[in-house]
Amino acid sequence: MSKIKCIVIEDEPLAAKVLKDYIASVPFLELQQVFKDAILASEFLLSNETDLIFLDIHLPRLKGMAFLKTLANPPSVIVTTAYHQYAVEGYSLNVTDYLLKPFELERFLTAVNKVYADHRRSAAGETRDFIFVNVQKRKVKILFSDMLYIESQREYIRIVTTKGEYLSKMSTNEIEELLPQHIFKRIHRSFIVSVNQIDAYTAEAVEIKGISIPIGRGYKDVIDEL
């Protein structure tokens, strides 16, 4: 697969330099340009294509989220900011990941690997909005938009959707590999939830359609991003 072309929209010189250094250390990333504000980036995107945008939120003239809403067909986006309160809005705009400043190279790699995996699936023609799962010797089609959450039940998983529940013999690790990572987040060893379906959350649990789902100790960072 060819390299993932990316641009950086960041008005803080130090933060921009950190991103440039991180990008340079990843073989599959190719930095096209760095912009100090979103207006300049918009002009660039009128005549150039990019695969990934590293987007700060607090920018001069046009804020990051407002800029993102102006894009008719946005590429992958990784938000970089010191303000955690915008993460839910970011995920509603299909942002791939949300990096809270200051972030280490390891966290950066986790984010760009998600983009890389998405691009590999797209290159293979896997732009589906559904999944087929084995349910009692039948292949059942389930739309991602219908899925609420997934619960591990020993060697089975329970897939809870807006249309009903399905029991399939597979692990949470196996189904997690098949789900779009910008929509589905693992918040517990036994639970994967659809971010789009979360109605409310605390530090201990998320609420989906009146159901309280616990957050595991090792998954607090996922909720911190929310």
pLDDT digits (tens, 9 = 90+) for 51-86: 999 999 888 888 888 898 888 778 999 999 887 665
Distance between CA atoms of 222 and 226, rounded to whole angstroms? 7
User: Does the bond joining 75 to the residue before it have cis omega, within 30 degrees of 0?
Assistant: no
Comparing 39-48, 112-121, 163-172, the range with the smallest average pLDDT is 112-121
Comparing 8-17, 92-101, 122-131, 151-160, the range with the smallest average pLDDT is 122-131
Has residue 4 got a pLDDT over 90?
yes
Distance between CA atoms of 129 and 112, rounded to whole angstroms? 22
Q: What is the pLDDT of residues 142-190, one digit of tens each?
A: 999 999 999 999 889 999 999 999 999 888 888 888 888 888 999 999 9
Quote the tokens at residue 144.
């991602």
The pLDDT > 90 percentage for the chain reads 53
Domains of the chain, each with CATH number or no CATH: 4-123 (3.40.50.2300), 130-225 (2.40.50.1020)
SS (H, E, C) the chain: CCCEEEEEECCCHHHHHHHHHHHHCCCCEEEEEEECCHHHHHHHHHHCCCCEEEEECCCCCCCHHHHHHHCCCCCEEEEEECCHHHHHHHHHCCCCEEEECCCCHHHHHHHHHHHHHHHHHHHCCCCCCEEEEEECCEEEEEEHHHEEEEEEECCEEEEEECCEEEEECCCHHHHHHHCCCCCEEEEECCEEEEHHHCCEECCCEEEECCEEEECCHHHHHHHHHC
Which of the two residues, 174 and 7, has the higher pLDDT score?
7
pLDDT band at 224 (very low <50, low <70, confident <90, very high): low
Beta bridge partners of 75: none
CB 154, CB 174: distance < 8 Å: no
* Per-residue model confidence (pLDDT) at position 150: 97
Has residue 98 got a pLDDT over 60?
yes
Has residue 126 got a pLDDT over 60?
no
Has residue 91 got a pLDDT over 70?
no
Pairing of strands 76-81, 97-100: parallel
Pairing of strands 184-188, 164-168: unpaired
pLDDT band at 120 (very low <50, low <70, confident <90, very high): confident
CA distances from 206 to 14, 87, 142, 163, 214 (A): 36, 15, 22, 20, 7
